[in-house]
Structure 1
Amino acid sequence: MKVMTKKAALSGLSLLGAAVLLAACSAAPEDSGETGDAAPDFQPCMVSDAGGFDDKSFNQSGFEGATAAADELGVELTAVQSDAETDYAPNITNLVDQGCDLIVTVGFALSAATIEAAVANPDINFVIIDDAADGDFDGATDAENIKPLLFDTAQAAFLAGYAAAAYSQTGVVGTFGGMNFPTVSIFMDGFAQGVEYHNAEKGTDVKVLGWDRAAQDGEFTGGFEANDTARQKAQALIDQNVDVLLPVGGPIYQSAAAAIRDAGREIAMIGVDADFTVTDPSVADLMLTSILKGIAVGTEEAVLAAGNGEFDNSPFIGTLENEGVGIAPFHDFESKVPEGLQGEIDDLMAAIIAGDVQVESYLAAN
């Protein structure tokens, strides 16, 4: 596999996260031993956002999926890591110039650059993770050669919010994000809905800080780096007595974890995209649960299809029903959560799938 960075002719790295959600729009790909006529000459490529391929989150998950597909196809993945927003368009152009047949772009921040490149290069297929590639907001993807991979994480975040409200002893939970993009705020809004549902069902009064459902706005760092700004955002919420914290935005959870460890009291954290207990064991003791996306398998299926000459531009939307989103086990917190909570979560999941409990999001079926 060829991995490049912008500065040294463009590079990144990844480790295999064993507990990335094992489902997407259909069953996991089977190794048939046949890759189709297109595979030997097929060049898959990938561009990260500024979080990098080792973010323990959605860049890493997408990288793992693309790598698995390339290995199965018997070809080499070229992966370009972006260090800043200004790298996105040049990195995609670099891959176009290298003759890539499929370019996977990771994240909503690359949407404009992906659309521009796709329109200019109709003979190259694109897959974009976490964005609809709908720059004109008409409800349709802006180019026929782009396949969006989308995830209705509000459903899974709803479950995490319910669990957070059940676990909280202070009656205050909090969240903050990198930037107020729909694919970030969907976690925060679903989380708040889950807390509200617990309050209504159990007669509790758990408060959510960091997100205002009415205003659809909240606390954001302005980026997706693990830095002092992210730590300050986490600290501000900790100072308001939160005992469950949901940071949404790749590496910013690392800053939140540092603030929690300095707090001197028990504060749980909720991960996003991947099961942080598995992908980053250094924070396992802090993890109440994680809100999961099936990014790895969804990406693997899309790359395999393209490599076999079967590219499909129809958007994939992950839900609880198709197991494209989910919630991780309580792991180390299993003995700390209220007795019977896992059963309540299971029942609530079934009710959401059945449509008996409605979770609002921009991806929810009408």
Structure 2
Amino acid sequence: MNAIEPIAASRHGRRHAPSFRAWTGVAGLACAGLLLAGCGGKAPAAAGASDAELSIGIFVDNAFGDGDFFDQAAKAQASLEEGGAAVNTYEGQLQAQNFAPLLQDAADANDLVFVLGFEAIDALIDTAAENPDTTFVFLDGVVDSAEVVSAEFRTAEGCFMAGALAATVNGEAGADTAGFIGGVNAPVIQNCEAGYVQGVEHVAPDMKVAAQYVGSFVDPAKGREIGLALKNKGAYAQYAYAGLSGAGIFDAAKSGQEIAPIGIVTDKSSLAPGKVPGSVEMKVDAVIEQLTEDFTAGTLKQGSQQSYGFAEDGWGMVYDEKILGADNVAALSELEAKIASGEVKVNVQ
């Protein structure tokens, strides 16, 4: 996410990509909400043939199966393997003592390793510096290291479309306030809020935005409480950029409260069937596939910073046409295309 400050500097290293047969892929905040997942320190899962021309590792600081950010990365495995790569996965289980050994295992076994989760950044920087023949990519942030590729998502763009969606939903419902729930009052959340406000204003200049912060990424009960408080202020459409805390507004909507919750990272319609007008998808799998193509082409340089928005297929939208109507979906899709083309500019706070 583009508002995250670089974390630490390290030494310099380079590598050359191995040969790899051509394959076709697509160009492509919730990780804090994963803290409630299991922390048993299991051994890493692994897949892929050892004789493949390219070996790719996907490391997460917690575990797959979150139904969110980490599982978006896991979706890339099938297409990578179809392209002839061996894919190995590693789960840190949020145990700090697991990170360095698992990352070293990943360095030993793979040419290219994708790392997800801020808890493992220190171990990542050290391991990347000690293994210059393996290229490490940190997903969803900027790491200040000459060895690590940083791949960030332009958060404000995705949140702009969430705001545009919220304003559209409110317009149909006759509501005058769009709700925003942040996890913690940090720069990346502020950046999202700024994008959200811009999106609301673009569609409905006179519509109000009511924002409140949970103070945690792992408190869905507090998220629900805030969602209900915002509803009482007139906020029908609500967007929570708050990790697991955001689940509270979906729970409230599912239980019958007059809230239209907007999803983030993945399609969240299953959390409140018939109540979710749309979701902002973080296309982590597409970004992994594109970066792998860049690596095999020899154009992915260690220490570089890559940025992904709608133009690069880093964000995508999912709409419920039954809730929104075909005309509104068409208008929102047109706005999304204008962001991708640069016709509509989204300002970063």
TM-score, normalising length: structure 2: 0.73
Instruction: Note the C-alpha offset of 1:344.
Output: 2.9
**Structure 1 pair 347–271 and aligned structure 2 pair: CA distance change class (3 A):** same
Q: Does the 8 Å contact 2:138/2:151 carry over to 1?
A: yes
Residue 208 of structure 2 aligns with an amino acid whose one-letter code is K
Find out whether 1:340 has 2:327 as its counterpart.
yes
Measured against aligned partners, the alpha-carbon deviations of 1:217-256 in whole angstroms (never above 9, x if no partner) come to x514423x36433333334333433211111244333332
CA displacement at 1:70 relative to structure 2: 4.2
1:328 to 311, 318, 333: 318
Measure, in 2, the Cα distance between the counterparts of 1:311 and 1:252.
39
How does 1:51-62 map onto structure 2 within 5 Å?
52-62=63-73
Residue 105, structure 1, aligned to residue 128, structure 2: no
Shift of 1:96: 0.7
1:355 maps to which residue? 342
* In the alignment, structure 1 residue 128 sits paired with structure 2 residue 138: yes
Aligned equivalents of 1:60, 1:154: Cα separation in 2: 22
Q: 1:277-292 to 2 correspondence within 5 Å?
A: 277=269, 281-292=270-281
SS in structure 2 at match of 1:222: coil
Rounded to whole Å, the distance in 2 between the matches of 1:64 and 1:120 is 29
The answer as to whether partners of 1:289 and 1:328 remain within 8 angstroms in 2 is: yes
SS of the aligned residue for 1:56 comes to coil
The sequence identity of aligned pairs, in percent, is 22
- Code of the residue aligned with 2:300 in structure 1: it is D
Paired residues of 1:293 and 1:326 also in contact (CA < 8 A): yes
> Matched residues in 2 for 1:220 and 1:164: separation?
20
Quick check: 1:174 aligned with 2:179?
yes
Kindly report which structure 2 residues correspond to 1:254-293, keeping only aligned pairs within 5 A, or say none: 254-262=247-255, 264-277=256-269, 281-293=270-282
Aligned to 1:240: 233
| Alignment deviations for residues 285-330 of structure 1 (CA, whole Å, 9 cap, x no partner) | 2211111222112113334665x58471343322222332232223
3-state DSSP of counterpart to 2:101: helix
What SS does the corresponding residue of 1:349 show, helix, strand or coil?
Answer: helix
Matches within 5 A, 1:43-82: 43-50=55-62, 52-66=63-77, 68-70=79-81, 72-82=83-93
Q: 1:294 touches 1:318 (CA, 8 Å); kept in 2? A: no
Question: 1:194 aligns to what SS in structure 2?
Answer: helix
Aligned-partner residue type, residue 342 of structure 1: V
Structure 2 CA distance for partners of 1:302 and 1:88, relative to 1, 3 Å: farther
Cα distance change of structure 1 residues 304 and 91 upon mapping to structure 2, 3 Å threshold: farther
Q: Helix, strand or coil: the match of 1:328?
A: strand
Checking the alignment, whether the CA contact within 8 Å between 2:227 and 2:248 is kept in structure 1 is yes
**Cα distance in 1, alignment partners of residues 214 and 74 from structure 2:** 26
Aligned-residue CA RMSD in angstroms? 3.3
1:54-75 CA-partner distances (Å, limit 9, x unpaired) = 2322211012214542454352
The equivalences for 1:162-241 within 5 A come to: 162-168=164-170, 169-200=174-205, 205-210=206-211, 219-223=213-217, 225=218, 227-241=220-234
1:286 match: secondary structure: coil
- CA change 1:207–1:293 in 2 (3 A) is same
Shift, 1:131, TM fit: 0.6
- Render the CA deviation track for 1:36-79: whole Å, top value 9, x for unaligned: xx9637553333245x4223222110122145424543524122
Q: Is the 8 A contact 1:156 1:325 kept in 2?
A: yes
Where does structure 1 lack aligned partners over 5 or more consecutive residues? 14-34, 135-141, 211-217
- Stretch moving more, 158-167 or 313-322: 313-322
Residues 8 and 348 from structure 1, CA distance in 2 versus in 1: closer, same or farther, beyond 3 angstroms?
closer
Corresponding residue of 2:283: 294
